[in-house]
A and B are shown apart, each in its own frame.
Chain A
């Protein structure tokens, strides 16, 4: 609606009922906004119960903090809060069950696989909370919107994402006079040089989240795209895909071992912590694992920004984390209040997760950030929001993209090529699966 244009009413007059409706709505809306801004919970939520379902965080201390933090908020506002933790892979099934039953938790968490678009008709519109947080903290980083926005409304609240930098062994690089891995080509040269010395590299080429995330980062940094900016159709089949596949196979053959075909999301952590890997591309959990288990290797482990594929092109695919509120929830107001409070305290969450949780709000990136801003090795992580992307880049995380991710089409295509299938056959299979899945979702 253009600015300054009056809203037309039916007959040029306002009935008493309509006046009360509009005025009442306005008062309720503005009071909610005021409360959201002032962070003062309304009296109506007193005596209610709020049930939250979320994953078991990779950093157990974060869960302990979260549960306590939620309980304390509940005590302060007269709300009984119950937090249940389950493995993140079980969440889609649990979500389907709760939706089918029309009962369960008030707030439900999604990690990596964001199902907002599947369920949005049954989720509470959280645009007011998102708008208030955006206004308060300098707006959201640009890819946040693509995760949760459907038809202009926010049906989920992104609270943190998990990024994956390069973690490399500076001692090994220095011994072989290698430049630090600022480009994928330099990373390949390092792996090719260090593998014969007993220090190969590895990125999972199996059916796990890491394989979905990190090979996509490499592909997008080589100029590739997965879907149109609107998300309407796939754009996988391209000369960039061929260039990327050629590079990926060379990197695998020269710098990796077949172990990567069997890896899960924690294997690269162990690979680095064991002192074998010359570099890994992973979340900072690998850094923390090494810190806790192998101090000498940790001393020599350094972090680098996402490597460039094409000159100046860095795209880092991160694992998003989003909270949603069911429409069937009888305590939607308390749910919104809690989420707004959680966003206000996302930096505390970052501290408790030892720098693992990265915020989505621009003002949070004022340097130095907590934890990562004070550790010289981790400071580089503060520059990631400019290059962060999610599945479906440059488009949103649509339902076909979720199916493609959940059935591991992209890493499987690379695996086929690395295992000896011809490039064109691998692409034909991968692109064919993309098109088939997109067609199915369009048909539905």
Chain B
């Protein structure tokens, strides 16, 4: 047996393999039983619901809409055939699509600028100590919590061509003429005013959200750092730009990301105010996708139109998330 072993014959090899295998099994079972592996497993277990949630509620619908966009599916026929990129081509052939794309970008960017400005201002105001601050902090989020249909219908009344309370107020102030005069604004009837009206409602509704996010960020900045900056003789704007913003950048970026996604995919405000009119002046991609995909039944083309939002959002998300990751290290 010893000879055989030294000669390195087949038995010796198999014994070595067996020994290695036993050792490795022992190691792996040892590793499996180790505390770090159990902690890792437990971590994955805790993570699993979130991963499942993302896969089921985001991944599957996304893949399904991708499948729809490559098919001639319609709402009444479950059997669809593959049409390649035909639905995307069809969208690109329609100038309503380009109008909607342009409006979507304008809507999102202009609304983001105003939400940023108003949200920051409001956050600073809410940071100041004053009587009833808690109550005011609660009240400012009301627009965000109201059912969207109710708040948009109220705005629709305020924008009414005949009975607009905004126009009535402006007229009483002497800033515009009376009803029927040429300078009486028809808010939802003139292309420029109509898109502005939709943006105003979006800003009104969501800037409290921006303010709350910023407020959370501002309160996380230690007072000692701000005091130190003050002692160094910095102005308010310098402290804001060089101390506060870098410190709350992750919160700002995540807030901006959420807001952009919500605004770009928001159907309700435009649909309830104008349905995309007049003559598509306020039509945005979600409204067009809804009209083509659901109301007209062409699911494939509707899915293709809505998927055009994806390449718009993807680079932005990558940029923001990379920026966020860089800041972690």
Contacts and interface: CB of A to CB of B under 8 A. Distances in A.
B94 interface: yes
A408 B186 CA distance: 20
A399 B299 CA distance: 13
B75 interface: yes
A433 B96 contact: yes
B274 A207 contact: yes
Interface in B259-304: 274-280, 288, 290-292, 294-301
Contacts of A267: 160-162
Interface string A183-212: 000000000000000100000011110000
B162 A92 contact: no
Contact of A260 (B189, B276, B280): B189
A50 to B, nearest CB: 23
B76 interface: yes
A232 interface: no
A264 B161 CA distance: 10
Interface residues of B, number: 43
B169 interface: no
Given A206-B278, A267-B161, A402-B296, A118 B186 contact: no
B232 interface: no
Nearest to A195: B180
Contact of B189 (A121, A259, A402, A407): A259
A115 B190 CA distance: 32
Interface in A405-442: 406-408, 412, 415-416, 419, 429, 433, 436, 440-441
Interface in A307-348: none
A408 B277 contact: yes
A290 interface: no
**Residue with the greatest number of chain B CB neighbours at <10 A, chosen from A113, A120, A257, A416:** A257
Contact of A270 (B162, B186, B300): B162
B90 interface: yes
Interface in B72-107: 72, 74-77, 86, 90, 93-96
A92 B90 CA distance: 22
Contacts of B160: 267, 270
Contacts of B161: 259, 262-263, 267
Contacts of A92: 75, 294-295, 297
B215 interface: no
Query: Which of the four size classes fits the interface of chain A?
Result: 35 or more
Contact of B77 (A121, A260, A419, A433): A121
Contacts of A118: 74-76, 297
A443 B295 CA distance: 19
B278 A262 contact: yes
Contacts of B290: 93
B294 A96 contact: yes
Contacts of B276: 207, 408
B280 A262 contact: no
A408 B298 contact: no
Given A119-B75, A258-B190, A205 B278 contact: yes
Contacts of A96: 75, 294, 297, 299
Given A262-B188, A406-B291, A436-B90, A415 B75 contact: no
A276 interface: yes
Interface in A258-286: 258-264, 267, 270-271, 274, 276
A122 interface: yes
B100 to A, nearest CB: 11
B203 interface: no
Interface in B206-256: none
B180 A119 contact: no
Contacts of A415: 277-279
B194 interface: yes
18 contacts: A93-B295, A99-B76, A120-B76, A205-B278, A207-B280, A208-B275, A257-B186, A259-B161, A259-B162, A270-B162, A270-B163, A399-B74, A399-B297, A402-B295, A408-B276, A433-B94, A436-B90, A440-B301
Given A205-B278, A406-B292, A408-B275, 10 more contacts: A92-B297, A119-B75, A119-B76, A207-B278, A208-B275, A258-B186, A258-B190, A263-B189, A276-B162, A402-B295
